[in-house]
Structure 1
Amino acid sequence: MDFNVKISRKSFIKASAFALATPMLSKLNLEMQSPSKIGLQLYTLRKELTTDLEGTLKKVSEIGYKEVETFGYSDGKFFGKTPKEFKALLKSFGLSAVSGHYGAGVEKADAKGTLSNDWERAVADAAEIGQKYVVCAYLTPNERKSIEDYKKYVDLFNKSGEVAKKAGLQFAYHNHDFEFEKLDGEIGYDYIAGKTDSKLVKLELDLYWIAKAGLDPVDLFKKYPGRFPLWHVKDMDKSDKSFAAVGTGSVDFSKIFAARKLAGMTHFFVEQDMTKEPVFEAITTSYKNLVTMKV
């Protein structure tokens, strides 16, 4: 038999075997892939954190969460800890804080660590604990009385974004449902999302509040593509539209996660403002359902 023919047959046999094995290997690799780093907004555990910070973070880690989003930063401290202390505490439980919530500080001008007061220090402390994002969490009723108030936030958010950018962080705004209500015939969110600098101001989309406002998240992704690096993944109870553990309510997560690239999503956080069941049971259910969804 010709030597070259032997080699060809041998190569053919190897190639055939590889071709047959490839679908199996691909399936195995897919099954072996770990799920996305599922995050938790710590506001969900605000009561527990005040009584047992270390124990609460330990439980969060044991459930399987890898990332957290902070809240309540005040005058250089995270839950009473310096940035160095808090970062070390998170690390001891295998957690990382990739994002944090902050106030606008327009109503409470004396509060330090807001967009309006001592923002540079807040951003520096966020960078020290490893955050990639700093997020304006909420506008109080007195901070959003008219559409003129929203017009002023265009400048404040852009400036806040500039400070964050200089520190290597990204600024974003987290919505509720009130931003989509008409004021003087206009929509506040159109100023927050449409009038700010798209590079300086990103958006954290809260999936529950978008549903509460009667809007489709994917429509917003199409209108503002790439602007939503952060999501709050939370569900709505089918009976009374209250907060529900992820995967137990009416929100169509499969449709939303299918559009994650269009949105520009890089991190997401489970959050439940309130729970009907014990809170640790609720966030465990949310975590397990998200793993099952293979998000």
Structure 2
Amino acid sequence: MSQVMMNRRALLAALGATAALALSETPAMAALRRSKPFFQRIGKPIGLQLYTLGDMPVKDLDGTLAKLAAVGFTDIELPNFYNRTPADLRAAADKAGVRYSSIHMNMPGPFTGGTLSLMSSPQEIADGLNTLGIYQVFMPLCPLPEGFSIPEGKNPQVAIGDALREAGADHWKRTATLLNERAAALKPFGISLGYHNHNMEFAPLPDGTTGWEILMKETDPSLVNFELDLGWTSAAGLDPAVELGKLKGRVKAVHVKDVKATTKTNYVMSQDPTEVGSGRLQWAKILPAAQAAGVQHFYVEQEPPFAMDRLAAVTKSHGFLSRFVA
């Protein structure tokens, strides 16, 4: 018998054994598999958006990352560059034994936290992110309408919401075009670009649509992905599990964020925040929906004000998620 025939028979036998094993799983075995904590079952780490810790990383990045590693957070999303070089940021991560897997990058302005912005050259962005080991970028906030300013005495969040509503659908279409253009420029360098939501994207526009609907429709699925912030989605009065279903195949990350039952539906970046598991979000529905939609990274994030020390808050959230069965 030829070696080719023997290899073919061995392969068929192995495939048959694998199929038989799958078919032979008893109800008890299936129940045992499902009884494992969600993150243990799917084999993914519980991540953290570093924004949650406020100025702790600014004052002591090495110490902050070491404390997070001790809690169990090893998958980190950066909110910006913290006015540090990519080499310095990478050295701190390596020292603590954590990795960066994503970063938020704004348009040029005071919130970039460094010299790079989304409008920097693709080569400059790629050089910086390759040093960090990052291949996914999210725009954390849509560009504000041209000429935007906050009237004296007006709540900034309300001013932003009002300006976006007045700018209408065209503003969101321009944002989609910008995302498509920047994503196409970054793709040859191995960098993916996505969009992270708050709740103003879900505000009804004069033409009956929403900014969120326009972004999903007008961005190129082969170029632009999404990071769904579950807490802000809930604050807009929507079911995060339903929204995850609409984004199947396009949602690469989520912000695992909880809000209190007292949070009222709004579109002006307002919520009553709390630790994950202490609020109203239905994690038994949401986490499996995220897995089914193709989410690769789960970043805990919490907005201020905090009811306890920030590190204690994220430790509580991690403890809940590490034990949660879904």
Structure 2 residue corresponding to 1:253, chosen from 273, 283, 294: 283
The structure with more radius of gyration: 1
Check if 1:173 corresponds to 2:204. no
Structure 1 CA distance, aligned partners of 2:145 and 2:297?
31
| Residues 1:107 and 1:48: Cα distance change in structure 2 (over 3 Å) | closer
| C-alpha displacement of 1:100 | 0.4
| Residues 1:56 and 1:182: Cα distance change in structure 2 (over 3 Å) | same
Q: Give the letter for the 2:307 counterpart.
A: K
| C-alpha displacement of 1:114 | 2.1
SS in 1 for 2:175: helix
Structure 2 CA distance, aligned partners of 1:26 and 1:130?
38
Bigger shift: residues 178-187 or 80-89: 80-89
Could you give the per-residue CA deviations for residues 219-247 of structure 1, whole angstroms, max 9, x where no partner exists? 22333321111000010123455111001
Of structures 1 and 2, the one with the larger relative CO (CA 8 A, separation 6+) is: 2
Structure 1 CA distance, aligned partners of 2:307 and 2:189?
40
Residue 244 of structure 1 corresponds to 274
Check if 1:287 corresponds to 2:310. no
Structure 1 residue corresponding to 2:181, chosen from 147, 150, 159: 159
Residue 13 of structure 2 corresponds to none
Bigger shift: residues 216-225 or 240-249: 216-225
Residue 85 of structure 2 corresponds to 82
Structure 1 CA distance, aligned partners of 2:111 and 2:65?
29
CA contact (8 A) 1:113 1:119 kept: no
Q: Give the letter for the 2:286 counterpart.
A: I
Structure 2 CA distance, aligned partners of 1:24 and 1:271?
34
Sequence identity of aligned pairs in percent?
29
| Residues 1:66 and 1:108: Cα distance change in structure 2 (over 3 Å) | closer
| Residues 1:92 and 1:102: Cα distance change in structure 2 (over 3 Å) | same
Residue 21 of structure 2 corresponds to none
Structure 2 CA distance, aligned partners of 1:282 and 1:194?
37
Q: Give the letter for the 2:256 counterpart.
A: V
Structure 2 CA distance, aligned partners of 1:167 and 1:23?
48
Check if 1:39 corresponds to 2:47. yes
| Residues 1:31 and 1:152: Cα distance change in structure 2 (over 3 Å) | closer
Q: Give the letter for the 1:278 counterpart.
A: D
| C-alpha displacement of 1:65 | 0.3
Structure 2 CA distance, aligned partners of 1:183 and 1:106?
27
Moved over 6 A (4+): 19-26, 106-109
Aligned Cα root-mean-square deviation (Å): 2.9
Residue 7 of structure 1 corresponds to none
Structure 2 CA distance, aligned partners of 1:198 and 1:28?
34
CA contact (8 A) 2:137 2:191 kept: yes
| Residues 1:108 and 1:254: Cα distance change in structure 2 (over 3 Å) | closer
| C-alpha displacement of 1:128 | 2.1
Residue 10 of structure 2 corresponds to none
Structure 2 unaligned residues grouped into runs of 5+: 1-23, 147-163, 264-270
Residue 149 of structure 1 corresponds to 171
Check if 1:138 corresponds to 2:161. no
| C-alpha displacement of 1:198 | 0.6
Structure 2 CA distance, aligned partners of 1:57 and 1:112?
23
Structure 2 CA distance, aligned partners of 1:83 and 1:171?
18
The number of residue pairs the alignment matches comes to 271
CA contact (8 A) 1:202 1:228 kept: yes
CA contact (8 A) 2:230 2:256 kept: yes
SS in 2 for 1:229: strand
Q: TM-score, normalised by structure 2?
A: 0.74
SS in 2 for 1:247: coil
Structure 1 unaligned residues grouped into runs of 5+: 1-18, 74-78
Q: TM-score, normalised by structure 1?
A: 0.82
CA contact (8 A) 2:53 2:310 kept: yes
Q: Give the letter for the 1:207 counterpart.
A: L
Residue 124 of structure 2 corresponds to 121
Structure 2 CA distance, aligned partners of 1:84 and 1:172?
24
